C-alpha cells in the first residue's frame, strides 16, 4: 500500500490539488477574483494603446463598440422575447450607458494617460467616500462610526497617493480626470440604488455598452471628441505585439469576460460580498501595470492605496451591519435610500 511519501502517492496528491484548484475557480469566490483580475487589465491594455498615439476617446469607443456587439449575443436570448423590458427600463439603461460606461471610462482613460494605472484607479475608488460625504451633507446626519472612520481613512490615503511633497510631481489634470471618474461612479451608484429585478444584468450591461458606444461615436462625429487611432505595435511587458492584441485584450478580457464573470460572481455570492471581493481589482491593476508597463507607485502612494481600500472596506462593512443609508431630505419622516450595491441586479461600471 503506498505511503504518503511514496512515488505512487504523488499523482494522487497532484490530482487532489488540481481538483481543489478547479473547485475554487468554479466557486463564487474564484469567479469573483477572476473578474477582478481581468478588470484590472483594462488600464494596462489601454495605456499600451495610448502610448502609441491612440486618443482616450478612440480607446474607449473601440472598447465599448466591440464589447457591446459581443455581449449582444447572450443578451438577446436573456430577454426571452420580452422586449418591453427595454422600454420599461430605458432611463436606467441610458443613464448607465452615459454615466457609468461612457463618461466613467473616458475620464478614467484620460487619467491613465497622465498618471500611473494604480494611482488613476485609486482615485476612482474614492466613489464610496463621495457618496458618504454627499449623504452627510444632504441629510445633515452624521455617518455611523465605521463609515465616518472609513471616510477619514480614505481621505488620508488620498493625501498619500497624491504624494504632494514627493520628488515626482503628480499631474494635476490627471488627478482631476481621476476624480471626475470617481464622481461618475458615485452618480451611477445613486442611479441604480433601488430594487430592479425586471431587467437581466447581462441585458443592462449590453444595453449600457451600446448606449455608451453610440454616444462616443456621436461625440466624435460632431467634433466634440478627438478620435486618433494608430496601427503601431504596442509594448506589453517584454513583448512587442500588434495593436489588435492590446485592443482584443481590452475588449474580450477586460470587458466581456470581466462583465460576465462579475455577473456570475454577484449571483453566486450576492452583490455586497462580490463588491467586497472586487476591491482586489486595485491590487491586480497595480500588479498588471508593473508586469506589463513597468509602472509601480512609489512606497508612499502604495501606503495611501492601502488606506483608501481599507477605508472603503470599513464603509462597506458598515453597510452590511447598519442597513439602509439615510437619504436626502430633512425631518424624521424622510425616506431612506438603500445602500449602494444593496441588491442583486447591480452591474458595476467598467473602470
Q: Using the predicted structure, report yes or no on whether residue 164 has a pLDDT greater than 70.
A: no
User: Among 176, 181, 139, which residue's Cα sits nearest to residue 331?
Assistant: 139
- The Cα 79–Cα 309 span in angstroms is 36
Residue 266: pLDDT band by 50, 70, 90 thresholds?
confident
Question: Cβ–Cβ contacts within 10 Å for residue 327, how many?
Answer: 16
pLDDT digits (tens, 9 = 90+) for 93-131: 898 889 988 999 999 999 999 988 988 988 888 888 888
Per-residue pLDDT, 24: 52
Q: Which residue has the cell 449590453?
A: 206
DSSP 3-state of 38: helix
Q: Using the predicted structure, report yes or no on whether residue 91 has a pLDDT greater than 60.
A: yes
Least confident residue range of 7-11, 302-306, 308-312, 337-341: 337-341
Question: Cβ–Cβ contacts within 10 Å for residue 351, how many?
Answer: 26
- The Cα 30–Cα 50 span in angstroms is 31
Average pLDDT over residues 284-293: 90
- The Cα 197–Cα 51 span in angstroms is 42
pLDDT digits (tens, 9 = 90+) for 16-26: 655 655 555 55
pLDDT digits (tens, 9 = 90+) for 330-347: 333 333 344 444 444 455
Q: Using the predicted structure, report yes or no on whether residue 14 has a pLDDT greater than 60.
A: no
Q: Is the pTM of this model over 0.85?
A: no
- The Cα 136–Cα 274 span in angstroms is 26
Per-residue pLDDT, 139: 79
What backbone torsions phi and psi does residue 340 show, to the nearest 5 degrees? -55, 145
Residue 155: pLDDT band by 50, 70, 90 thresholds?
confident
pLDDT digits (tens, 9 = 90+) for 54-83: 999 999 999 999 999 999 999 888 888 788
Facing residues of 234 across strands? 241
Per-residue pLDDT, 330: 38
- The Cα 207–Cα 100 span in angstroms is 12
H or E element in which residue 185 lies: helix 172-192
Facing residues of 236 across strands? 239
User: Among 238, 190, 224, which residue's Cα sits nearest to residue 340?
Assistant: 190
Question: Cβ–Cβ contacts within 10 Å for residue 152, how many?
Answer: 14
Residue 48: pLDDT band by 50, 70, 90 thresholds?
very high
Average pLDDT over residues 268-276: 69
What backbone torsions phi and psi does residue 168 show, to the nearest 5 degrees? -95, 115
User: Among 120, 256, 108, which residue's Cα sits nearest to residue 188?
Assistant: 108
Residue 214: pLDDT band by 50, 70, 90 thresholds?
very high
Amino acid at each position: 500500500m503506498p505511503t504518503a511519501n511514496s512515488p505512487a502517492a504523488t499523482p494522487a496528491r497532484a490530482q487532489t490539488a488540481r481538483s481543489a484548484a478547479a473547485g475554487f475557480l468554479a466557486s463564487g469566490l474564484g469567479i469573483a477574483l477572476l473578474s477582478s483580475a481581468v478588470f484590472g487589465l483594462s488600464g494596462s491594455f489601454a495605456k499600451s494603446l495610448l502610448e502609441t498615439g491612440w486618443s482616450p476617446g478612440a480607446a474607449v469607443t473601440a472598447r465599448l463598440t466591440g464589447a457591446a456587439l459581443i455581449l449582444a449575443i447572450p443578451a438577446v436570448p436573456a430577454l426571452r422575447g420580452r422586449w418591453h423590458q427595454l422600454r420599461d427600463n430605458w432611463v436606467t439603461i441610458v443613464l448607465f450607458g452615459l454615466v457609468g460606461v461612457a463618461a466613467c471610462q473616458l475620464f478614467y482613460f484620460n487619467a491613465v494617460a497622465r498618471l500611473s494605472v494604480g494611482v488613476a484607479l485609486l482615485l476612482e475608488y474614492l466613489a464610496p467616500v463621495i457618496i458618504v460625504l454627499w449623504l452627510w451633507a444632504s441629510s445633515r446626519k452624521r455617518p455611523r462610526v465605521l463609515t465616518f472612520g472609513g471616510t477619514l481613512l480614505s481621505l488620508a490615503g488620498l493625501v498619500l497617493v497624491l504624494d504632494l511633497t514627493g520628488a515626482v510631481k503628480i499631474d494635476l489634470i490627471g488627478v482631476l480626470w481621476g476624480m471626475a471618474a470617481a464622481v461618475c461612479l458615485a452618480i451611477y451608484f445613486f442611479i441604480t440604488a433601488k430594487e430592479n429585478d425586471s431587467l437581466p444584468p447581462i441585458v443592462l450591461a449590453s444595453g449600457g455598452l451600446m448606449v455608451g458606444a453610440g454616444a462616443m461615436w456621436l461625440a466624435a462625429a460632431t467634433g466634440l471628441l478627438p478620435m486618433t487611432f494608430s496601427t503601431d505595435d504596442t509594448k506589453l511587458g517584454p513583448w512587442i505585439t500588434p495593436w489588435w492584441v492590446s485592443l482584443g485584450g481590452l475588449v474580450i478580457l477586460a470587458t466581456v469576460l470581466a462583465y460576465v464573470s462579475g455577473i456570475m460572481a454577484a449571483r453566486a455570492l450576492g452583490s455586497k460580498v462580490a463588491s467586497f471581493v472586487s476591491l482586489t481589482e486595485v491590487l491586480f491593476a497595480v500588479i498588471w501595470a508593473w508586469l506589463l508597463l513597468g509602472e509601480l507607485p512609489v512606497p508612499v502612494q502604495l501606503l495611501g492605496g492601502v488606506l483608501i481600500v481599507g477605508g472603503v472596506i470599513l464603509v462597506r462593512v458598515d453597510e452590511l451591519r447598519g442597513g439602509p443609508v439615510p437619504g436626502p431630505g430633512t425631518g424624521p419622516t424622510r425616506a431612506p435610500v438603500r445602500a449602494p450595491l444593496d441588491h442583486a441586479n447591480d452591474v458595476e461600471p467598467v473602470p
